[in-house]
Structure 1
Amino acid sequence: MGLHETPLLFDFELVSSEDLTFMPMSVRFNLDRFGLRISLAQWQLLPHADRALLARFPVDEDAQIEPNFDHALFEMMRTHANLEPDWFTPDAEPAWRNAAAVPDGLLRHCHTAGLAAPNAEVWARLDPFKRYVLTKLSRKPEASHDFLPAMREFGLVG
């Protein structure tokens, strides 16, 4: 699978990420799957064209499908920021990958927002990337401003 024609953005990201000032979820996904970490300030050091290119990489779970994300990021960071991303060991079994159980953080966020949480059947039907996004948006104790819009966009809230 090759690069997408345009940056991958959900509707709920358009306001905050359309100009790529902030990292889109597609980039966050690929950073997490390759075990790479960059700060928002480092992201913003990259030229817009490089950020757009990184946001066009596929979001498939299989790291073998498009192994060039990490190479591209390293080259861009060296060229434009004289830095390298930090490495970490990715979680071998992240909560979003388990289609049989809704993550606790997501359940807490739904409760806090007064929303009915998706049941295991609904959770299992979600595309893995959407499960990743909801898990990522609900990982911190405080509510993300994108959580409710993402739930709506994914058809989990009326």
Structure 2
Amino acid sequence: MSHFFAFEAEFTASLRCIPMIVRYKLDLCGVKLKLLHWHQLSQEQRQWLVVTPCDTPEAQADYRQQLRDWVTHTHGTPPSDIEIRQPYPWDITTELPETVQQQLTNVPHHSLTVEKWSALTPLQRFALVKLSQPGHENRNFWPALQEFGLA
């Protein structure tokens, strides 16, 4: 099973950008990792961040500490913390997040309904939330909808 989405294919082989699976884990454990920090990590460290589970409070604490240690070692200071807002927007399955709704106004032919939203995996919903954020380059929103069978 791949840890990556097809819309990320241009950079996942080299891991030159932070893939969605890692961004998802960063949000779960409350760490803001800058691209500069990511580039300072070794290929092995990046791969570890991709494949290491982050699905329990204990795993999240371990993931967070390991990442903070690595960044502090290579950068001199730890990465910033981000607020962990629960429930996460992607965990709410009874309505589409506002940013996703707003982004959908720019997509003429989609089939994303609340029912289909709730059927997506948490990682797929996370990706759509992230790809719909204001100020984010939203060019992968449409490819993500296509990949998830929603366009």
- Aligned in 2, Cα 1:142/1:117: closer, same or farther, shift over 3 Å? farther
Q: Does 1:63 align with 2:18?
A: no
Q: Please state if 1:48 is matched with 2:43.
A: yes
Match of 1:26 in 2: 21
Instruction: Return the letter of the residue paired with 1:85.
Output: P
**Which residue is 1:3 aligned to?**
none
> Is residue 2:124 matched to residue 1:130?
yes
- In structure 1, runs of 5+ residues without a counterpart are 1-5
Instruction: Give the direction of change, closer, same or farther, for the CA distance of 1:111–1:59 in structure 2 (3 Å limit).
Output: farther
Post-superposition offset of 1:66 = 5.1
Give the direction of change, closer, same or farther, for the CA distance of 1:7–1:79 in structure 2 (3 Å limit): farther
* Greater fraction of residues in helix: 2
Worse-superposed segment, 51-60 or 100-109? 51-60
The 10-residue stretch of structure 1 (141-150 or 85-94) with the greater mean CA deviation from structure 2: 141-150
Q: Secondary structure at the match of 2:86?
A: coil
Count of aligned positions: 151
| Kept after mapping to 1: 8 A contact 2:6/2:147 | yes
Aligned AA (1:37): K
TM-score by length of 1: 0.85
Query: 2:105 aligns to what SS in structure 1?
Result: helix
- Check conservation: 1:29, 1:59, Cα contact below 8 A: no
Question: In 2, distance between residues paired with 1:76 and 1:12?
Answer: 28
Offset of residue 48 of structure 1: 1.5
Structure 1 runs of 4+ aligned residues shifted over 4 Å read none
* CA drift at 1:87: 1.1
Structure 2 residue 9 is matched with structure 1 residue 14: yes
Percent identity over the alignment is 25
The partner residue of 2:143 within 131, 139, 149 is: 149
Separation (CA, whole Å) in 2 of partners of 1:52 and 1:88: 22
Query: Are residues 1:86 and 2:115 paired?
Result: no
| Alignment root-mean-square deviation, CA | 2.0
1:113 is paired with a residue of what secondary structure? coil
* 1:73-120 Cα deviation digits (max 9, x unpaired): 012112222221111221112221101101121122122122335111
